[in-house]
Amino acid sequence: MGTQGDENVGREQLEPPLRVRFAPSPTGMLHVGGARSALFNWVFAKRHGGALVLRIEDTDASRNRPEWTQGIIDSLAWLGITSAEYEGPYLQSEYAGQHAQAQRTLLEAGDAYYCDCAREAVVARTGDSHRGYDGFCRDRGLSSAAGGALRFRTPDVGRTVINDLVRGEVSFEHAALEDFVIARGDGSTTFLLANVVDDATARITHVIRAEEHLSNAPKQQLLWQALGHTPPTWAHVSILVDHARKKLSKRRNKVALEAYRDEGFLAEAMRNYLMLLGWSPGGDREIVPWKLIEAEFELSAVTSSPAFFDVDKLRAFNGEYIRALPLAEFIDACQPWLVGKSAPWQTTEFDAEVFAALAPHAQTRIVLLSEIVPMVDFAFLPHPVRDEQSWNKAMKEPAEQILDAAIAAFADVEWEPVALKAAMEQVSLRLGLKLGKAQAPVRVAVTGRTVGLPLFESLAILGRERTLRRLADAHRALQQSRLTTP
RNA sequence: GGCCCCGUCGUCUAGAGGCCUAGGACGUCGCCCUCUCAAGGCGGUAACGCCGGUUCGAAUCCGGUCGGGGCUACCA
């Protein structure tokens, strides 16, 4: 290795030793499986001082939509993979010229040939719809003018061995590889070739992708070689599966990263969880700082068996991350659900100071940020929500007396949690009830629900006037229903 | 059907021949704490698919078998 000369230093910086890429097709929102692949690529690059390239494979015009491209970019950024973290995004559609050039190279070298066989004709000849292409046109010398597809001529004997960082060596017999299509009748290049040309152009050294591509690897490796390039090192990570152990799919499962973000999953929890699907920091560690993952991740330590995407465990991770947030950050993270169109109250009714007082009590009680709304809505809605189930459960027999007594007791107590609790304890004592029983009607009258934040802290924050009014409202409603339906 | 991959508690995993009467986490069950609900603490439940072989010794190595999955388009 020559190290003399300043130009070499600069050159090495332009061409880092290791280059990886994430190459999604914009046929939908980024899904969790894709996100995991992106994360593996990103962390691998970080770990080894390499570069990450983002390439949008937008060559199927019929299924692509520009907004999906932006959605993918936004989702990646949410995970931490911002534009500063990668080269690109490059659009595959802009490299049609290079793809066409590769077609010519292959054709001229005799590695490819035109074929005008209809699928039915092939099946008719082989008598087997599972067999694949039979090589009928191999030596017919057809030209592109015939409007046929261009096929790659796979070797008849021998085998191709894929060197895979997570699976070891995987061997494929050439006899089992059909002459696959590399260009359509209209001249456009298919995935197998375009993907290879773009990777070679970007000088990709490691192709890290999901296992569903494993069977493409031998074909692509042959293409790399035919084009005169050294094939990359491969790494096929396992797929993510659903409850039925089937590959996660857009139509069967909820997989869009955006959907999880909108529900209130934290990006940090999501990426920590995704990394643990197939990889472990070792020992008994699971929830770990991202820095540690970047420092310790090893592709060779990634499991090769499929992993179930377990939302329950993701939720547990999210709860942990929410609780670990400094209060100010927790308050900040809740904002999207508190102000704006999704909030059930007018923005003018929201009071940041009141929320700040409520927040510490809510932080240990929610698993998704979106759950903050029913926790605190009593403080911002003019009237508490009326949850029928809660009402029916709490507003039973001694409820009217309890409300009565509470109104009297709260009329002149010192308005702070300890005094409020003491007053309520007096009430329950007098009625021969446990505090847990006696607080229920009060809680429902004031917050609308049987479960929620600690009651006396909530009352203290709500204020005497509003509390008393709600107690009276509930009392009146109870009286009325007693009179109308005996 | 063909090619290929995979196989430790229900789930994600630790485990790289003796440290394993298999560890952790999620889930689940019970107890404690407690104004509801959480959080927290304590404890329980539950796995090396099966059969052979190698070895003094196998979850770990080999073979087979069974089971699951991926791919099998002029989609990517």
* CA atom of A177 to C1′ atom of B17, Å: 39
Distance between CA A425 and CA A376 in Å, rounded?
Answer: 24
pLDDT for A386-401, tens place per residue? 999 999 999 988 999 9
* CA atom of A285 to C1′ atom of B28, Å: 22
Write down the ipTM of this complex. 0.95
Residues pairing with A181 in the sheet: A151
pLDDT band at A485 (very low <50, low <70, confident <90, very high): low
E strands along A218-346, which residues?
A: 233-237, 240-241, 307-308
CA A221 vs CA A175, A282, A345: distances in Å: 15, 33, 59
Nucleotide nearest to A284 (CA to C1'): B24
* CA atom of A418 to C1′ atom of B35, Å: 11
* CA atom of A340 to C1′ atom of B65, Å: 61
Most confidently modeled range among A14-18, A281-285, A315-319, A347-351: A315-319
> How many Å separate Cα A278 from the centre of its chain?
16
Q: What are phi and psi of A247, to 5 degrees?
A: -55, 135
* CA atom of A208 to C1′ atom of B60, Å: 28
Can you tell me the mean pLDDT for A322-343?
A: 96
A274 has a pLDDT exceeding 80: yes
A267 has a pLDDT exceeding 80: yes
* Crossing angle between the packed helical segments A464-484 and A435-447, to the nearest 10 degrees: 100
Nucleotide nearest to A150 (CA to C1'): B74
pLDDT band at A9 (very low <50, low <70, confident <90, very high): very low
Average pLDDT, chain A: 92
A486 has a pLDDT exceeding 80: no
| Protein residue at shortest CA distance from C1' of B5 | A211
Can you tell me the mean pLDDT for A260-278?
A: 97
* CA atom of A308 to C1′ atom of B13, Å: 12
Cα angle A321, A322, A324; round to 5: 65
State the residue for tokens 């090769």.
A304
**Residues of A carrying an active site annotation:** 250
pLDDT for A176-210, tens place per residue? 999 999 999 999 999 999 999 999 999 999 999 99
* CA atom of A453 to C1′ atom of B47, Å: 40
pLDDT for A231-257, tens place per residue? 999 999 999 999 999 999 988 888 999
> How many Å separate Cα A246 from the centre of its chain?
18
> How many Å separate Cα A217 from the centre of its chain?
26
Query: In this structure, what token pair is assigned to residue A345?
Result: 């109250």
Nucleotide nearest to A312 (CA to C1'): B26
pLDDT for A22-41, tens place per residue? 999 998 899 999 999 999 99
Q: For a pLDDT cut of 70, what percent of chain A falls above it? A: 96
From A120-124, A338-342, A436-440, the region with the lowest mean pLDDT? A120-124
* CA atom of A240 to C1′ atom of B67, Å: 19
Distance between CA A222 and CA A217 in Å, rounded?
Answer: 9
Q: Which nucleotides of strand B lie under 7 Å from a protein CB?
A: 1-8, 10-15, 23-27, 35-40, 68-76
Nucleotide nearest to A424 (CA to C1'): B35
Can you tell me the mean pLDDT for A121-128?
A: 83
Distance between CA A463 and CA A416 in Å, rounded?
Answer: 9
pLDDT band at A271 (very low <50, low <70, confident <90, very high): very high
* CA atom of A306 to C1′ atom of B50, Å: 21
pLDDT for A449-460, tens place per residue? 999 999 999 999
pLDDT band at A122 (very low <50, low <70, confident <90, very high): confident
Q: What is the pLDDT of residue A15?
A: 45
Q: What is the pLDDT of residue A6?
A: 30
pLDDT for A345-387, tens place per residue? 999 999 999 999 999 999 999 999 999 999 999 999 999 999 9
Query: In this structure, what token pair is assigned to residue A67?
Result: 């907004």
pLDDT band at A447 (very low <50, low <70, confident <90, very high): very high
Nucleotide nearest to A159 (CA to C1'): B3
Q: What is the pLDDT of residue A132?
A: 84
Beta pairing, strands A149-152 & A112-115: antiparallel
Q: Which residue has the higher pLDDT, A118 or A269?
A: A269
pLDDT band at A7 (very low <50, low <70, confident <90, very high): very low
Nucleotide nearest to A211 (CA to C1'): B70
A129 has a pLDDT exceeding 90: no
A12 has a pLDDT exceeding 80: no
Q: What is the pLDDT of residue A8?
A: 30
Nucleotide nearest to A59 (CA to C1'): B76
Q: What is the pLDDT of residue A2?
A: 31
